Every structure is written in structure tokens, then in C-alpha cells.
Amino acid sequence: MLKEFKEFAMKGNLVDIAVGFVMGAAFKEVVTSFTGGIVSPLIGLIFNADFKDLKLVIKEGVANAEGILEGEVSVLWGAFLTHVIDFIIVAFVMFLIVKGVNKMKKKEEPAPEPPAGPTQEELLIEIRDLLKK
């Protein structure tokens, strides 16, 4: 069983998937940094606020003795929109990578068809010709 697991774990496709997963996670961090550090502040200029902190307050909260807001109910639409932008960037880059890899792959030429044998009609004609002799 250990041998079978080793063969399974060391298959090329599984190792490729693991490497791709690690690189994808690292790339997501880069995109998150890009969105949070560059895109969000630029969009925040439009709203005159930090874009990630934009929210729709449904129920006002009350500050406790330490000054921490308690009981507030709000929709954090700024953070949600930031994550949507992250997703769109990652999805677009992954699309470009897959498209590039597919373009680089050699197009498989269709295998030539095996030579077809004689048809029934051809065999009957040949038998007829042999019988005429």
C-alpha cells in the first residue's frame, strides 16, 4: 500500500498541481497587495474614504467603556467589492496563462486512417473476374 501511495504521489500531474497551487496562492497575495495598496486608494479618492472601510450601516452601534463599538449591523460593501476586484484580476491572469499554455502546445496531428480493405463489391467483382477465367 505504501508503494502504491508513493507511485500516486509522485505522478507528474499531481506534482504539477501542487506546484501550481503554491504559485497560485503566492500570486493571490500579490494581487491582494495590488488591490489593497493601489486600486483601493485610487477608488477611495472618489468616495473620499478608505475604500475597504466603506459600509452601509443598518443599525447604529453603541460605544462601550473602552470606546469599542458594539452592536453595529452593517453591510461591508467596500471589502466585498475589493475581493471581487481581486477575483477578477486573478481569473483574468489565469485565463491568459491557460490560453498561452494551450497556444504553446503542439497541435496533435490526427492519426492517419489505416488503409481500408476492399469493399464487398470489390471482392465480388474480383471473384466474378476469377470465375470468368
| 32-77 pLDDT per residue, tens | 888 878 887 887 788 777 777 778 888 888 888 888 878 888 898 8
Q: Are 39 and 25 in contact (CB under 8 A)?
A: no
Beta bridge partners of 69: 63
State residue 60's pLDDT score: 86
CA distance 82 to 88: 10
Residue by residue, DSSP assigns the chain as -HHHHHHHHTSHHHHHHHHHHHHHHHHHHHHHHHIIIIIHHHHHHHHTS-GGG--EEEE--EE-TTS-EES-EEE-HHHHHHHHHHHHHHHHHHHHHHHHHHHHSPPPPPPPPPPP---HHHHHHHHHHHHH-
Q: Are 40 and 51 in contact (CB under 8 A)?
A: yes
State residue 109's pLDDT score: 67
- pTM to 2 decimal places: 0.56
pLDDT, mean of residues 115-123: 82
